Amino acid sequence: DALAAAGKYDEAVHLLLVRSVADINNFRPDLVKLHFSSRDICSHPLLPEAARPAFQQIVQWVEKSYFAGVQVGKSGFDACRQAYVDFVAAEGIA
């Protein structure tokens, strides 16, 4: 939230992805391997189905920012932030 408040929306959505992966590691330490990409994690069968859509949305925002060079802006951050809230509330993650 502090990054977004400073107008650093791209960095903020990336941090949400990093935190999402950390959350997965806390609850499913057998899922994430060092060489996995975000897409690998998203399609992994051990990722709880209830968490998959929200995680996928976070990944898509980060891909737009980091790989397509599209600035996500406040609206993108807000959507990604809501996806993170949905992600951590999903059964099997929290």
> According to the model, what pLDDT value does residue 34 have?
87
Please give the model's pTM, rounded to 2 decimal places: 0.93
* Distances from the Cα of 3 to the Cα of 6, 45, 57, 60, angstroms: 5, 32, 19, 19
Predicted confidence (pLDDT) at residue 68 exceeds the cutoff of 80: yes
> According to the model, what pLDDT value does residue 92 have?
84
Average pLDDT for residues 14-26, to the nearest whole number?
95
Give one DSSP letter per residue of 44-60, joined into a string.
-TTS-TTTHHHHHHHHH
Average pLDDT for residues 62-80, to the nearest whole number?
95
Alpha helices, DSSP H, located in the chain: 2-5, 9-27, 38-43, 52-66, 73-89
